[in-house]
Amino acid sequence: MSASRSSLMPRTLLPVLILLAMACQAADRDRPQSSVRPGINDSYVSKRLDTDRMTATFEDEGREAFARRLDVIAELDLKPGDDVADVGAGSGFYVELMAAAVGKAGTVYAVEIAPNWIEHLQTLAEEKGLRQVRVVTGGERSVRLPKASVDLVFSSDTYHHFEYPAQTLASIFEALRPGGRWVVFDYDRIPGVSSRWLLGHLRLGRTEALAEITAAGFVLEREVDLNLRDNYLAIFRRP
Q: What is the pLDDT of residues 155-190, one digit of tens each?
A: 999 999 999 999 999 999 999 999 999 999 999 999
Q: Are 70 and 161 in contact (CB under 8 A)?
A: no
pLDDT confidence of residue 24:
45
Higher pLDDT, 88 or 41: 88
User: What are the DSSP E strand ranges found in 22-117?
Assistant: 83-87, 107-112
Tell me whether residue 41 is in a domain: no
Share of the chain above pLDDT 70, in %: 85
Give a yes or no: residue 43 inside a domain.
no
CB contact set of 99 (below 8 Å; sequence gap of 6+): 106, 108, 128, 130, 132, 133
**In-domain check, residue 169:** yes
Between CA 149 and CA 138 the distance in angstroms is 15
Show Cβ contacts of residue 155 under 8 Å, excluding neighbours closer than 6 positions. 86, 87, 88, 183, 184, 185, 186
In a domain? residue 21: no
Q: Which residues make beta-bridge pairs with 236?
A: 182, 220
What are the φ and ψ backbone dihedral angles of 90, each rounded to 5 degrees? 55, -125
Q: Give the pLDDT mean for 110-123.
A: 96
Please give the mean pLDDT across all residues of the chain: 88
Q: Which residue has the higher pLDDT, 48 or 137?
A: 137
Distance of alpha carbon 237 from alpha carbon 182, whole angstroms: 6
The pLDDT of residue 217 is above 90: yes
Q: For the segment 20-51, what is each residue's pLDDT rounded down to a tens digit?
A: 444 444 444 456 678 988 877 777 777 778 99
Domain annotation covers residue 190:
yes
**pLDDT over 60 at 6, yes or no:** no
Residue 32, pLDDT score: 64
Task: Give residue 19's pLDDT.
Answer: 44
**Phi, psi torsion values for 120, nearest 5 degrees:** -60, -45
pTM of the model: 0.84
Residue 203 lies in a domain: yes
61: domain range? 53-237
Residue 152, domain CATH? 3.40.50.150
Question: Would 213 be classed as within a structural domain?
Answer: yes
Residue 2 scores a pLDDT above 90: no
State mean pLDDT over 183-211: 94
Whose CA is closest to 204, among 158, 172, 168?
A: 158
Q: How many domains does the chain have?
A: 1
- Residue 75 placed within a domain: yes
pLDDT of residue 18: 36
Q: Phi/psi zone of residue 135: left (φ > 0), alpha (ψ -120 to 50 degrees), beta?
A: beta
Compute the average pLDDT of residues 233-238.
Answer: 98
